[in-house]
Structure 1
Amino acid sequence: MKTLLFPVAIALLISSCFLDADAQHVIGSSAGEKTDNYIGVMMSKRHIPGLSVAVLKEGKILKMQSYGLANIETHTPATSQTVYKIGSLSKQFIAAAVMLLQQSGKINLDSPVGTYLDSLPSTWQSITIRNLLTHTSGLVRDAPDFNPLKIRPLSEDIKAIYSLPLGFSPGTQWDYSNMNYYVLAAIIEKVTGINWAKWIGQNIFEPSGMHQTRTTSMTDLILNRANGYKRTSAGWENAEIWLALRPSGAFLSSIADLAKWDSMLYTNKLLTTASKKQMWTAMKLIDGMNTHYGMGWFIDSVNNHLRVHHDGGVPGFRSDFERFPDAKFSVIVLTNGGSAKAERIAQNIAGFFIPVLKPLPAQALPDKEPEITAIVKGFINRLQKRSVIDTNTLSTELAKAYNKEAARVLAYAIGGKIYSITLIGRRERNGRRTYRYRLDYGYDYTDLVIQFDSWNKIIGYGIDD
C-alpha cells in the first residue's frame, strides 16, 4: 500500500520489489507449503485477522486458500467467498469500462474531457481521457472537503475541485489522483445514460461471472461480507467505516471473483488485445519520462519480467493484484487488516512459485549527501519520540499545511524499534530530489519516501508500504 501523507510522486522514484526477511527464511518443501507458512508468519506479525489468496497460471487456479477470520466478533472463518473491500483495485474496472466504451466508439481516449462533460473549468480544456486514466491530468488527489462519512452526488464531488488550480500542465508530470477516476465515472454515466456502477456491473461483472462483486453499502445486506479491523495498543478495534461511495475505491469482491476476472483477462471476450496492451503500457510524459503507470495498473518489472499490478487500501482492508504477463502468472491477496502489507505478501508468494519472480533484496546506495540523511534521521527521531514534525525542516507551503493529526498518523506508520535507516533510492527532477529510505525493524521494513527542494526543505513525504 502506498500511503501518501503529503504529495510525493512515488512512482517516479524507483519501483520497489524487495524481498523481506521473513520470506527468506520460510520453511517448506513446496511452493504451497511455503505460502502457508509465510502467510502464518505475516498474519501474526502484521496483525491480520483474515486473508484470502489466489495463485493462478494462465487464469487457472494453482492455489486458492483463506486463512483466519472474516469476522472476529462472530468467529466466522474467511473463505474463498468472503467479500472484502478492495480499495483502489477498483480503478482497473473503471479503466476497463472506459476501454469497452472506446471499443464501441463512444469514447476517444485522446479527446478532451470537455467533449463529454459540460461546464468544466477553462483550466481543464487540455485534459484528455488518457490523462485521467494515467494520472497525468494535474487534478488534485482528493477534494479538499471530502468527508468519508458523508454521501453526496458524484457531480458535487467533482464540482468541489473546480476552483482549484491544476498541479501541472496535463502530460508533463505524474501524480496519483483519485479525482481522475471520479471524472471518468461521470463520463461513463454521460455516454451510457446509466449509473457508472450499474453499467460496470452489467457489462463487466455479470459477463465475467463475478456475482459477489459490487459497490460497497452500509445499508444493503451483503452475504459473506468481511469486517475490517485495526490493531491498537488496546487490542482489536473495528476500523472506521467510509459511507461515501468513491469511484476510485468503490467495490467489494471475493478472491473467487477476482480469480474469474484474471481468467477473463486471458480472453478477448470483453477487452480486445489492443485495449489490454494500452492498459498495460506505462504512460510516458511529454518529455519522455516513464511514469510506471498504465490505465488502472502500475507497470514495472521483476528481474526483467513485466509486472502489472495495483494495491488497494481503505480503513480495515488491504489488497493487492499482481500479474506477470510474460509468465502468465498471477497472485491476488485480500485482507481485512488495516496494517497488512498485501503487496509485499503477494510479491513474495510469486517468488515461491516462480523463483525468477522472487523480489530482490534492497541495495544500499552510496550516501553522497549525509546532510540530507541527517535531516531525515532527525525527522524520524522527532516523530517517534514526540509524534511531531519540526516545521523548520519543511517548505513554507508544507509548513502551512502541517497539522498534528497528519504527524500522528505518520508516527504510527513508522512506529517500532528501527535497527537501521538506509538510502535505497534517489531521483532528481525539475529541481526536486526524491529519496527512498528503508527503515528496517528486523522482522519487517517500511520505506519512507521524502522529497526536498533546492534549499533542502522538505516539500513532500509519505510511506510506501
Structure 2
Amino acid sequence: MPVSRWTLPSVTFRWMLLVLLAWGPVASAATDKVDAYLRAEMARNHIPAAAVAVIRDGKVLKLQAYGTANLEANVPATTRSTFQIASGTKMFTAVLLMDLVGQGKLRLDDPISQYIDGTPPAWKGITVRHLASHTSGLKPGPPDADMPGVAAAVEAAKKVPLASAPGEKAAYGSDDFTLLTSILEKVSGTPYPQLLRDRITTPLGMSHTGFDNAAHDAEHIVLTSDVVPGRVATYQWKTDHQQQYWFVYPHYTRAAGGLFSSVTDMSKFVSALMGDTLLNAELRKALWTPATLNDGTPGGFAVGWTVGRYRGRAEVGHSGGPALSDTVYFPEEKLAVIVLTNQRKLTPTLAHGVANFYLTPPAFLNDPGIPDALPARTTALKQVVTSLAEGRADASPFTGALKQDVGELNEWMSLQLGGLPPLSRLVLLSESPDHGTRTYRAVHGRDQTKQWLVTFDAAGLISEVDVKEE
C-alpha cells in the first residue's frame, strides 16, 4: 500500500519526522557499509528480502529495506513491509509482564500457584520469573496444533512431569509462555492480543504489527488467515530453489511467537525501551537482569529476553525463526540493531554483523592467551575452522557424531561463520590438564571474534565443538 495514499496519524508523522531529522547527519560510510554487508549476505544466504534499523539513544540512524517481499508477485520490500518475527514476540510479552509488575498487580517472584488454580505439587517452587526466564523445569516440547486454547494447554501441562527442578537450568520451550499468557490474561482481565494493542502497539503508533490468526480446519486441509497489509512471504532455500514456508502458530502460543511487524514498528518499540515510555529505569533493569540459577550462576535468559555479551559488552535481545527477526541491544551504549528477513534457513548473525560497524573493538582483542603446548593441534584446528566457514570441511578431523554428521555441520557452520572476514588467528585461552578440552578465541579479520570450546579424543580428533559470542 503506497504511503502517499495514507492519512497518517500524528504519532506516525512525528516518528517519520524524527527519522528524517536523524538520518541527515549520519548518511555516512558506516551506513554505506551496512548496505554492502547486508546485500552480500542476502546473496550468500539466498535471502529474498531484509530490513534493518539502527537506533542510538532513541534516534534512528539507519532504516532501510532490501530485496523482494513476495517472489510470486514481485513486490519490493519497504520499511513498512510486515515480516514474521516468530519468537521475537517474547520481547513484547516480557514488556507486558513488567508493565503489570510496575502497576503492582504481580511480582516476578510470586509463585505461579497464586495465579493458576490446581497446580500440581511439583510446581510448588515455580515462580513467574522462572516462567519468563525458561528456568521453570517444564519439559520443552513442540506446540500442539490441536490444542483448543490456553486453558486446555495449561491443564495438559499439569499432567507432564517436570524435566528438571525449578531454577536448576534454562531450557527453551513454549509452555513457559503459555502459562505466562494465562497469568497475564487473569491479572489484566484482558485477552493477550488486546493487551498487546492497548499497552504497546497502539500507544506507540505501531500500525503494522499484529497477528494473522492463521489456523487449519479440523481436517488440516484448509488454511485460513486474516489479511495482513504488507505481509512479507517467508521462504526456505531448498538445494537450488526457493520454497514458500508457513509455520502456523497455534493461538494458545501467541505470547511465545507468531507476531508480524515492520522494521519501522520494531524501531519504535526498541526506541521506547531506551527511555521511560513503556517502562521506567527500575523496571527495565529488572527486565534485562539474567535469572540466577540454583547453583548461583546466571542463566541465559532475563525476563523473556536473551542476555549475553558481544564484543565485550553486555547485550540483550531475541531472535526468532531462527533468524526471521534478530534484535540486539547494548544497554550501556543505548545502541540497538534490528534485522528482519524472510529466509527461514538462516542463523541469527546479521544484527551482530551490522552492529560491528557501530561498536569499537573489544578490549580483550589483543590478549595473548596462554602458552600453547600443542601448537600443531592449533594449526590443524585453524584449517578446520576455515573449512567449516566455507562449508567444505571433510570428516577426517572429526570423530563420533561430528564425523557422521559432517555435512550438517558444514551447512550450519557456514551459515554462522561464512559472513565473517577470513580467520586471522586462534588464541588459546584455557585448556584441561590433559589438553583434551581447549577454549580458543578465533579472531576474524581485524577485530571480529568467536569463542570455540573444542574437545579432542586421545588421538587428537575433534569430538565436540561449541561456538559462542564473547
Q: Fold conserved (TM > 0.5)?
A: yes
Query: How many angstroms apart in 2 are the aligned matches of 1:310 and 1:250?
Result: 14
Task: Name the structure 1 match of 2:59.
Answer: 60
Q: Does 1:213 align with 2:209?
A: yes
Residues 85 and 321 in structure 2, CA contact (< 8 A), matched pair in contact too? yes
Q: Does 1:118 align with 2:117?
A: yes
Task: Name the structure 2 match of 1:352.
Answer: 357
Q: Secondary structure at the match of 2:72?
A: coil
How has the CA–CA distance of structure 1 residues 345 and 162 changed in structure 2, closer, same or farther, with 3 Å as cutoff? same
Query: How many angstroms apart in 1 are the aligned matches of 2:182 and 2:74?
Result: 40
Query: How many angstroms apart in 2 are the aligned matches of 1:88 and 1:180?
Result: 13
Query: How many angstroms apart in 2 are the aligned matches of 1:88 and 1:427?
Result: 36
User: Aligned letter for 2:208?
Assistant: Q
Task: Name the structure 2 match of 1:286.
Answer: 294
Q: Does 1:328 align with 2:327?
A: no
- Which residues of 2 match residues 414-453 of structure 1 at below 5 A? none
Query: How many angstroms apart in 1 are the aligned matches of 2:78 and 2:367?
Result: 34
Query: How many angstroms apart in 2 are the aligned matches of 1:47 and 1:103?
Result: 43
User: Aligned letter for 2:297?
Assistant: M
Query: How many angstroms apart in 1 are the aligned matches of 2:285 and 2:161?
Result: 32
Task: Name the structure 1 match of 2:92.
Answer: 93
Query: How many angstroms apart in 2 are the aligned matches of 1:446 and 1:303?
Result: 9
User: Aligned letter for 2:360?
Assistant: P
Instruction: Give ranges in structure 1 of 5+ residues lacking alignment.
Output: 1-27, 394-403, 453-458
Task: Name the structure 1 match of 2:222.
Answer: none
- Which residues of 2 match residues 232-251 of structure 1 at below 5 A? 232-245=238-251, 246=253, 247-251=255-259
Residues 147 and 153 in structure 2, CA contact (< 8 A), matched pair in contact too? no
Instruction: Determine which of 154, 170, 173 is the counterpart of 2:169.
Output: 173
Query: How many angstroms apart in 2 are the aligned matches of 1:362 and 1:52?
Result: 36
- Which residues of 2 match residues 382-421 of structure 1 at below 5 A? 413=412
Q: Could you report, residue by residue, the CA deviation over 1:405-461 in whole angstroms, capped at 9, with x for unpaired residues?
A: x999778646899999x9999999xxxx999999x9xxx999999999xxxxxx999
Residues 47 and 340 in structure 1, CA contact (< 8 A), matched pair in contact too? no
Query: How many angstroms apart in 2 are the aligned matches of 1:407 and 1:153?
Result: 41
Residues 348 and 359 in structure 1, CA contact (< 8 A), matched pair in contact too? no
Residues 52 and 64 in structure 1, CA contact (< 8 A), matched pair in contact too? yes
- Which residues of 2 match residues 359-378 of structure 1 at below 5 A? none
Residues 86 and 325 in structure 2, CA contact (< 8 A), matched pair in contact too? yes
Q: Secondary structure at the match of 1:98?
A: helix
User: Aligned letter for 1:180?
Assistant: D
Q: Could you report, residue by residue, the CA deviation over 1:268-301 in whole angstroms, capped at 9, with x for unpaired residues?
A: 2321211100011122223221214211212223
Query: How many angstroms apart in 2 are the aligned matches of 1:437 and 1:306?
Result: 18
Task: Name the structure 2 match of 1:38.
Answer: 37
Q: Could you report, residue by residue, the CA deviation over 1:292-326 in whole angstroms, capped at 9, with x for unpaired residues?
A: 42112122233443212211116xx6211111121
Residues 352 and 358 in structure 1, CA contact (< 8 A), matched pair in contact too? no
How far has the Cα of 1:216 moved from its partner? 3.3
Q: Secondary structure at the match of 1:270?
A: coil
How has the CA–CA distance of structure 1 residues 415 and 353 changed in structure 2, closer, same or farther, with 3 Å as cutoff? closer
User: Aligned letter for 1:217?
Assistant: N
Q: Does 1:229 align with 2:229?
A: no
How has the CA–CA distance of structure 1 residues 48 and 167 changed in structure 2, closer, same or farther, with 3 Å as cutoff? same
Query: How many angstroms apart in 1 are the aligned matches of 2:438 and 2:296?
Result: 19
Residues 229 and 337 in structure 1, CA contact (< 8 A), matched pair in contact too? yes
Instruction: Give ranges in structure 2 of 5+ residues lacking alignment.
Output: 1-26, 215-224, 457-462
User: Aligned letter for 2:75?
Assistant: T
How has the CA–CA distance of structure 1 residues 111 and 208 changed in structure 2, closer, same or farther, with 3 Å as cutoff? same
Residues 362 and 424 in structure 1, CA contact (< 8 A), matched pair in contact too? no
Query: How many angstroms apart in 1 are the aligned matches of 2:70 and 2:363?
Result: 32
Task: Name the structure 1 match of 2:217.
Answer: none
Q: TM-score, normalised by structure 2?
A: 0.72
How far has the Cα of 1:230 moved from its partner? 0.6
Q: Could you report, residue by residue, the CA deviation over 1:352-406 in whole angstroms, capped at 9, with x for unpaired residues?
A: 1233479969999999999xx99xx9xx99x988xxx978x9xxxxxxxxxx9x9
How far has the Cα of 1:331 moved from its partner? 0.7
Query: How many angstroms apart in 2 are the aligned matches of 1:96 and 1:217?
Result: 22
Moved more, 276-285 or 49-58: 276-285
Q: TM-score, normalised by structure 1?
A: 0.73
Task: Name the structure 2 match of 1:6.
Answer: none
Q: Could you report, residue by residue, the CA deviation over 1:115-152 in whole angstroms, capped at 9, with x for unpaired residues?
A: 00112222111100011111211112225xx34x5463
Residues 82 and 224 in structure 1, CA contact (< 8 A), matched pair in contact too? yes
Q: Which has the higher contact order (CA 8 A, sep 6+)?
A: 1
Task: Name the structure 2 match of 1:192.
Answer: 188
Task: Name the structure 1 match of 2:314.
Answer: 306
Q: Could you report, residue by residue, the CA deviation over 1:227-256 in whole angstroms, capped at 9, with x for unpaired residues?
A: 000111241111133242322113111100
Moved more, 294-303 or 38-47: 294-303
Q: Secondary structure at the match of 1:48?
A: coil
User: Aligned letter for 2:358?
Assistant: F
**Greater C-alpha Rg:** 2
How has the CA–CA distance of structure 1 residues 449 and 114 changed in structure 2, closer, same or farther, with 3 Å as cutoff? farther
Query: How many angstroms apart in 1 are the aligned matches of 2:211 and 2:408?
Result: 28
Q: Does 1:161 align with 2:157?
A: yes
Q: Secondary structure at the match of 1:249?
A: coil
Q: Does 1:267 align with 2:275?
A: yes
How has the CA–CA distance of structure 1 residues 360 and 307 changed in structure 2, closer, same or farther, with 3 Å as cutoff? farther
